[in-house]
A and B are shown apart, each in its own frame.
Chain A
Amino acid sequence: MADVRISGLHKYYGAMHALKGIDLTIADGEFAVFVGPSGCGKSTLLRTIAGLEDVDAGEIAIGGGVVNDMRPRDRNIAMVFQNYALYPYLTVFENIAFGLRARKFADSEISKRVGDAASMLGITALLDRFPRQLSGGQRQRVAIGRAIVRQAQLFLFDEPLSNLDAKLRDEMRSEIKRLHKNIATTMIYVTHDQVEAMTLADRIVLLRDGRIEQQGSPLDLFERPATGFVAGFLGSPTINLIPAVMDVRGNSVAVRLTSGEMLELPADKVQSAAGSNGKKVILGIRPQHLTRAGRAALPKGQIRVKAVADLIQPTGTRTYVTSRIGDVAVTAELGAHDVHEQGATLDYAVDMNRCVLIDPQTDKVL
């Protein structure tokens, strides 16, 4: 059990600056998820924590002690690899026992720990098999078992589910979450899948180009993104980004779309609109915040917009409808039976309380 403190971390691959000054603290027992597009540095960051990569500047401390100059084996870390890294010539039992044997544990202790881990993961019946005789999900369990028996102070997962099919991935995801609940060890998990990040994390660390773009709880990042990039990365379908211009008239602040519609912003959305009249912004609205408006008057902060349903994609539970609003294609997530016909004109209720305004120059959320 240990916390992880990282300060001023830099990593170069030749001329490529892979990590550009990472400062990060992960509390003891926390489940942290590093997420971001490919090439953002999330795997590199994980591998520097494991000691599989050297760092060029900065400090990594695990459980209070600086580990920069420690070999991976001395850091007391367990890691689950993307391809599971099972040893093909050893049985499942020996695979799980490998780390214990390397550390010269007594045979009785080894069989006890392997037995416990196997029953926790439901793979007791597979202990005599070889990795090639296992399905993808079973291999995943063995890899996790290998990490558990070590009783390491820190667990690292490097995209562990990306080689599984969708159904297994859902299953293993809940299993990993349950595992964390049971053994309460600090875990760091790397993924490019935002659903995995949202569902697993206590804390999401969103990386972009070797920097931390934003970190916080999943809902925090989802509801209060710091940048347009964060807003666009999280959420499915992705957030709608509509170019607009600020329109300030006395106390009322609105945005004007290129097609001419004026959408008034709620007062609490804008602290100080002074001097921002005519400023170009990007209006971000999640598909979930465009709903079908009824006949009745809309609640405060919601605005009625008429649009034609150009494209209808039912998913069973919900239906995604794409329309043109403000000269761009905007997707709304409506009820399964809200729309039936392509070309129908719809009354949307746009929830301006939940919208974000992004500065197109800096990508910062205003």
Chain B
Amino acid sequence: MTALTRRQRRALTLAMRYLIAVAVTLLFLFPVYWLFMISFKTPEEIFHVPPLWLPGQIQFNNYWVLFKDGDVVAILNSLIVAGTSSVIAMVLGTFCAYSLARFNTGGENLAMWIISQRMIPPMAVVFPIFLIYVHFGMVDTFSGLILLYTAFNLPYVIWMMRGYIADIPLELEESALVDGCTRWQVIWKVVFPMARSGLMATAVFTFVFAWNDFLFALILTRTEVITFPVQLTHYMGGQSNFWAKIAAMSVLGTLPIFVAVTIMQRYLVRGISLGAVKG
């Protein structure tokens, strides 16, 4: 080793790091690969002993079945519920956030209360909500689920947007006010464009949270607004797992999330750490 120069030692370390990095990445991606591959297998290949690591051919029958049987409705339901609730949560939450960030409305206490709402375990609130929904006939309705996801995501939106808005230099707004804008014009013409990337990132995350949720959907839906995670569990029953359907449905339900998060990667760390780490 003493014969090596620092330059050579560094090259050697880099090679080692690459080796480990590739190994670790393969390890972490293997389950995803397995899921993905099963979705292209024929039943004979899926239930082959020993398990096959490659499908004989790429065939889309497993996906086709989901469309033919109408199971993809669950994806559509998820889109409607997650999409609508995100939009509503973003609109209401951003106004809240602006007020909190710029006027310090309610002081630090209100902000802490709002974020503490996010920390309440869903199981503790979903039970009474279920009772109330039964009373008002809101179980298994779009509006019921949308309202719940909106409320569930609001603390997140308020908390995150408060951070993004606080990052905008106050002078920009003051200069717009001096130039004759009304409060609403300032928000529309200065705050929104400046916070655009933060808005986009937060919207993506609220969408992902609603999309990935299982618990609320399990309890508050029956047949009409089944979302994709609930549909997925319908395929798992005792010994008769519909493996092909599980795999195909999982891939369908993961692709939009993966695309969205990849686009928003720059904001990923800030998004998942509740704004604590600005990445």
List the interface of chain A (C-beta within 8 A of B). 54, 68-69, 71
Centre residue among A54, A68, A69, A71 by max chain B CB count within 10 A: A69
Instruction: Give the CA-CA distance A71 to B9 in the complex, in Å.
Output: 12
- Count, chain B residues at interface, CB 8 A: 4
Instruction: Give the CA-CA distance A69 to B7 in the complex, in Å.
Output: 8
| Contact digits for B1-40, partner A, Cβ 8 Å, 1 yes 0 no | 0000111001000000000000000000000000000000
The 7 closest A-B pairs by CB, nearest first: A69-B5, A69-B6, A54-B7, A54-B6, A54-B10, A68-B5, A68-B6
Q: List 8 A-B contacts (CB under 8 A).
A: A54-B6, A54-B7, A54-B10, A68-B5, A68-B6, A69-B5, A69-B6, A71-B6
Instruction: Give the CA-CA distance A335 to B229 in the complex, in Å.
Output: 84
What is the minimal beta-carbon distance from A66 to any residue of chain B, in angstroms? 11
What is the minimal beta-carbon distance from A9 to any residue of chain B, in angstroms? 14
**Residues in A whose Cβ lies below 8 Å from that of B6:** 54, 68-69, 71
**Residues in A whose Cβ lies below 8 Å from that of B7:** 54
Cβ-closest chain B residue relative to A51? B6
List the interface of chain B (C-beta within 8 A of A). 5-7, 10
Instruction: Give the CA-CA distance A68 to B8 in the complex, in Å.
Output: 12
Cβ-closest chain A residue relative to B4? A69
Cβ-closest chain A residue relative to B9? A69
What is the minimal beta-carbon distance from A183 to any residue of chain B, in angstroms? 30
Cβ-closest chain B residue relative to A56? B7
Instruction: Give the CA-CA distance A287 to B7 in the complex, in Å.
Output: 50
Instruction: Give the CA-CA distance A71 to B7 in the complex, in Å.
Output: 11
Instruction: Give the CA-CA distance A68 to B6 in the complex, in Å.
Output: 8
Interface majority SS on B: helix, strand, loop or mixed?
helix
Instruction: Give the CA-CA distance A54 to B5 in the complex, in Å.
Output: 10
Instruction: Give the CA-CA distance A201 to B10 in the complex, in Å.
Output: 36
Instruction: Give the CA-CA distance A69 to B10 in the complex, in Å.
Output: 11
**Residues in B whose Cβ lies below 8 Å from that of A71:** 6
Instruction: Give the CA-CA distance A10 to B209 in the complex, in Å.
Output: 52
**Residues in B whose Cβ lies below 8 Å from that of A68:** 5-6
| Extra inter-chain contacts (6) besides given A54-B6, A69-B5, CB under 8 Å | A54-B7, A54-B10, A68-B5, A68-B6, A69-B6, A71-B6
Instruction: Give the CA-CA distance A54 to B11 in the complex, in Å.
Output: 12
**Residues in A whose Cβ lies below 8 Å from that of B5:** 68-69
Instruction: Give the CA-CA distance A54 to B6 in the complex, in Å.
Output: 8
What is the minimal beta-carbon distance from A360 to any residue of chain B, in angstroms? 42
**Residues in B whose Cβ lies below 8 Å from that of A69:** 5-6
**Residues in B whose Cβ lies below 8 Å from that of A54:** 6-7, 10
Instruction: Give the CA-CA distance A71 to B5 in the complex, in Å.
Output: 11
Cβ-closest chain B residue relative to A55? B7
Instruction: Give the CA-CA distance A69 to B4 in the complex, in Å.
Output: 9
Cβ-closest chain A residue relative to B10? A54
Instruction: Give the CA-CA distance A131 to B10 in the complex, in Å.
Output: 34
What is the minimal beta-carbon distance from B48 to any residue of chain A, in angstroms? 49
Instruction: Give the CA-CA distance A54 to B7 in the complex, in Å.
Output: 7
Cβ-closest chain A residue relative to B8? A69
Cβ-closest chain B residue relative to A70? B6
Instruction: Give the CA-CA distance A294 to B58 in the complex, in Å.
Output: 97
Instruction: Give the CA-CA distance A242 to B6 in the complex, in Å.
Output: 51
Instruction: Give the CA-CA distance A71 to B6 in the complex, in Å.
Output: 8
What is the minimal beta-carbon distance from A265 to any residue of chain B, in angstroms? 53
Instruction: Give the CA-CA distance A68 to B10 in the complex, in Å.
Output: 14
Cβ-closest chain A residue relative to B7? A54
What is the minimal beta-carbon distance from A278 to any residue of chain B, in angstroms? 53
What is the minimal beta-carbon distance from B2 to any residue of chain A, in angstroms? 9
What is the minimal beta-carbon distance from B57 to any residue of chain A, in angstroms? 44
Cβ-closest chain A residue relative to B2? A69
What is the minimal beta-carbon distance from B11 to any residue of chain A, in angstroms? 11
Cβ-closest chain A residue relative to B5? A69
What is the minimal beta-carbon distance from B184 to any residue of chain A, in angstroms? 41
**Residues in A whose Cβ lies below 8 Å from that of B10:** 54
Instruction: Give the CA-CA distance A69 to B6 in the complex, in Å.
Output: 5
What is the minimal beta-carbon distance from B55 to any residue of chain A, in angstroms? 42
Instruction: Give the CA-CA distance A68 to B7 in the complex, in Å.
Output: 10
What is the minimal beta-carbon distance from B235 to any residue of chain A, in angstroms? 51
Cβ-closest chain A residue relative to B6? A69
Instruction: Give the CA-CA distance A54 to B13 in the complex, in Å.
Output: 15
What is the minimal beta-carbon distance from B264 to any residue of chain A, in angstroms? 28
Instruction: Give the CA-CA distance A325 to B59 in the complex, in Å.
Output: 84
What is the minimal beta-carbon distance from A165 to any residue of chain B, in angstroms? 22
Instruction: Give the CA-CA distance A164 to B54 in the complex, in Å.
Output: 64
What is the minimal beta-carbon distance from B14 to any residue of chain A, in angstroms? 12
What is the minimal beta-carbon distance from B138 to any residue of chain A, in angstroms? 53
What is the minimal beta-carbon distance from B125 to any residue of chain A, in angstroms? 40
Instruction: Give the CA-CA distance A326 to B10 in the complex, in Å.
Output: 58
What is the minimal beta-carbon distance from A362 to any residue of chain B, in angstroms? 36
